[in-house]
Chains A and B, each alone.
Chain A
Amino acid sequence: MKTPDVTAALGDKKLQLAIYSATGRMAERRRDIVAQNVLPDYQDLRQHAHDIKKHTLDHLDYYLEQLERNVESRGGKVIWAKDGAEACAFIQKLARDRGVKVVVKSKSMTTEEIDLNEHLEHDGVETVETDLGEYILQLAGEKPFHIIAPALHKTKEDVSEIFEKHLHSQPESTPEGLTKIARIALREKFLEAGLGITGANFLVADSGAIVVVENEGNARLSCSAPKIHVAVAGIEKLIPRAQDLGVFLKLLARSATGQALSVYTSFVAGAKRAGEPDGPEEFYLVLLDNGRTKLLADESKRQSLYCIRCGACLNHCPVYRKIGGYNYPWVYSGPIGKILTPQFKGFHDDPWVPFASSLCGACGEVCPVKIEIPRILLELRSEIVQQEGDRTEKLGFRMWAWVMRHPRLFGRLGSLSSAAIESLPGFLAVGPIKNWLSQRDLPDPPQQSFREWWKKR
């Protein structure tokens, strides 16, 4: 099984420190704000969130139709997109029809899935990421490193260099100064843009609304300043009622950044209405499938779709915390990526993904909607081995089973291998075994086997 080469990430001391301290800090803040004395009903809230997501996903057709009716009753338009190509084609056409030259965009993992920026740029539409971290990465030509803290691997020196190169700014040594440079550059774009694109943390069926949660104000600007607002969301983002936000908003920011509430929570039910002083004139909601219906069919793994993208599982994952966000094959990294990627993309190209886990269980324990990530990892492993398991491995296990069923043979082989171990590494340390042994020592073989010892008693 070919696995990615993580030695560069592991050997980069600066990167290791950046990942370790950022994820550690987020994990610590989360722990403090869900503590028993701060949020006594935390466990009830998790269970309730899980139950609501289960109910919604189990009746997804019903709630999607309800959402659509409610969006359209207020003059908004719902676009159903089977895949990224359809979603991008709609937005590209809209931009062309309305003569849009500049698009402002707030952070959205869903649009990362479909390479929306690349499509719009291809049409000559300037598409600007406006979340500070995403903006830095867009200028640098990189993808998000973490769901919540996309540029956590960049130091302030890196950021200053990126700004000097692309914005022709003066060198700047403080995060405050760098933030100000970005604020000024992006403010211009907000006032210039003809179209704003946001994701959605939640789609609210009974209200025909989207909910966007953020700290900077760029999502609020994206859905308020331009004349057109397009929200792009996966079909699984639904909750039945606005009142369910009472549960989900208590969990989301706490699990993500350790805040009781994010700075801005926008509940947006369409374009500006009569009597309202501002807001967009047109509202579109793009509902994206892009493989989600495939996951829905598998009842035991359906809960993978309950994810609210808080990033807590990344912050608690011993594997993510070492290898970082760029060693996973798709936009979703960490434990949630390990269960989403094989189900969305199939496991043929990267069968190793669900195996890159110590199964320590931390991800499942901190998940605010109680997705059983470790169990799903095991299920995926078993499916992969059944479908893709290599023949040598299967042969090995068959031989092992045969030996185990023949006690006398087992005894003989036992004493033989004791002798063999002693003459290692020279004897066996070749090929793939050499790699394995380069990191590990074999134990000393016992003087006598258990069976021999038992006989002599």
Chain B
Amino acid sequence: MTSRDEILGLIRAALKRQPNDPVPPAPPVLLREAPAENLVDRFRTALEALAGHVVVVNTAAEAQTAVEKILNGRTFLTSVNLRGGEFSRDACASAEAGVTSADFALADTGSLVIFTESHESRLLSLLPPCHIAVIERSKIVPSLDDVLRLRPKPGESSSAMVIITGPSRTGDIEMRLVRGVHGPGEVHVVIVDQM
């Protein structure tokens, strides 16, 4: 008997169940509906409380200028979906900043939600010490519950969905907050009214 069959056998014996016994419906899904008001302001307040930075601009051209100002001459890499072309892990590891998009932003927690299916890299928002995300205003939703309602199975077309809530941090030494452990210590979000 394989370990699989043994474990399943032990479980069924413990639960007094037979293979293919019916399963009653799971408790209902509990997702909140929050009003979609003041999303930009709420997002800004939440992210700034975590020491992230938010800039709101009107056009794509203004977004470009805002990103350049944040970069201030630092080396950077933009994600495939913003620039097209190839991705390289080593280039990503040596860049001083990573510029990405995001699929959603969460107003209540100041989070960014990135799906890899949009040709967005797992590492570009992670390896460089500075992460700049450029998003349309319409991507901001009240909370994670809205994302889970719109995308009930996040793994369907993406190998990964990551929720980023502020700069990387630790409190492992004497409970003192230190930013930028393994991920970026600096997080900027540029919100564009119209792309």
- Residues of chain A having any CB pair with chain B under 8 Å: 18, 21-22, 25, 41, 44-45, 48, 51-52, 55-56, 58-62, 64-65, 70, 74, 80-82, 86, 130-133, 136, 149-152, 154-156, 159, 175-176, 178-179, 182-183, 186-187, 190-191, 204, 206-209, 215-218, 220-221, 223-225, 235, 240-247, 249, 257, 259-273, 275-279, 287, 289, 293-294, 296-297
Quick one: given A209-B155, A261-B163, are A246 and B144 in contact (CB under 8 Å)? Answer: yes
16 additional contacts (CB under 8 A) given A60-B11, A220-B183: A70-B155, A82-B7, A130-B182, A132-B172, A150-B172, A152-B175, A156-B176, A224-B123, A235-B7, A246-B30, A249-B144, A265-B163, A269-B158, A270-B159, A289-B7, A296-B10
Contact call B23/A217, Cβ cutoff below 8 A:
no
Contact call A261/B169, Cβ cutoff below 8 A:
no
Contact call A59/B23, Cβ cutoff below 8 A:
yes
Of B4, B26, B117, B178, which is within 8 A of A52 by CB? B26
In angstroms, Cα B43 to Cα A451, docked, is 72
Query: Residue among B79, B126, B165, B171 with the most chain A CB within 10 A?
Result: B171
In angstroms, Cα B167 to Cα A176, docked, is 14
Nearest-Cβ distance from residue A328 to partner chain B, whole angstroms: 21
Contact call A243/B152, Cβ cutoff below 8 A:
yes
Please give, as numbers and ranges, the residues of chain A lying within 8 Å of B163 by CB-CB distance.
261, 264-267
How many B residues touch A, CB cutoff 8 Å?
Answer: 78
Quick one: given A216-B168, A257-B171, A275-B119, are A244 and B159 in contact (CB under 8 Å)? Answer: no
Contact call A297/B158, Cβ cutoff below 8 A:
no
Contact call A61/B169, Cβ cutoff below 8 A:
no
Please give, as numbers and ranges, the residues of chain A lying within 8 Å of B38 by CB-CB distance.
none
A-B contacts, 13 listed (Cβ < 8 Å): A45-B30, A132-B170, A133-B172, A218-B182, A221-B123, A241-B152, A242-B155, A246-B32, A260-B46, A261-B144, A267-B162, A278-B89, A297-B13
Interface-side segment among B14-22, B54-62, B63-71: B14-22
Contact call A242/B153, Cβ cutoff below 8 A:
yes
Please give, as numbers and ranges, the residues of chain B lying within 8 Å of A58 by CB-CB distance.
15
Please give, as numbers and ranges, the residues of chain A lying within 8 Å of B183 by CB-CB distance.
216-217, 220-221, 263-264
In angstroms, Cα B173 to Cα A136, docked, is 9
Contact call A276/B153, Cβ cutoff below 8 A:
no
Nearest-Cβ distance from residue B162 to partner chain A, whole angstroms: 5
Please give, as numbers and ranges, the residues of chain B lying within 8 Å of A224 by CB-CB distance.
122-123, 126, 160
Which B residues between 141 and 163 are near A, CB-CB below 8 angstroms? 144-145, 148-149, 152-156, 158-163
Query: Residue among A61, A221, A269 with the most chain B CB within 10 A?
Result: A61
Please give, as numbers and ranges, the residues of chain B lying within 8 Å of A217 by CB-CB distance.
126, 168, 181-184
With CB as the reference atom, state the residue of chain A lying closest to B80.
A277
Quick one: given A207-B153, A216-B181, are A261 and B165 in contact (CB under 8 Å)? Answer: yes
Please give, as numbers and ranges, the residues of chain A lying within 8 Å of B2 by CB-CB distance.
80
Nearest-Cβ distance from residue A28 to partner chain B, whole angstroms: 11
In angstroms, Cα B9 to Cα A61, docked, is 9
Say if the beta carbon of B27 comes within 8 Å of chain A: yes
Of B26, B155, B178, which is within 8 A of A240 by CB? B26
Nearest-Cβ distance from residue B47 to partner chain A, whole angstroms: 12
Query: Residue among B92, B127, B155 with the most chain A CB within 10 A?
Result: B155
Contact call B169/A55, Cβ cutoff below 8 A:
no
Quick one: given A179-B178, A246-B144, A270-B159, are A279 and B172 in contact (CB under 8 Å)? Answer: no
Please give, as numbers and ranges, the residues of chain B lying within 8 Å of A276 by CB-CB distance.
116-117, 119, 122, 158-159
In angstroms, Cα B87 to Cα A259, docked, is 33
Nearest-Cβ distance from residue B120 to partner chain A, whole angstroms: 8
The 6 closest A-B pairs by CB, nearest first: A269-B155, A217-B183, A277-B87, A217-B182, A133-B172, A297-B14
Contact call B182/A246, Cβ cutoff below 8 A:
no
Please give, as numbers and ranges, the residues of chain A lying within 8 Å of B164 by CB-CB distance.
263-264
Please give, as numbers and ranges, the residues of chain A lying within 8 Å of B126 by CB-CB distance.
217, 220-221, 224
Please give, as numbers and ranges, the residues of chain A lying within 8 Å of B4 by CB-CB distance.
80
With CB as the reference atom, state the residue of chain A lying closest to B108.
A260
Nearest-Cβ distance from residue A137 to partner chain B, whole angstroms: 10
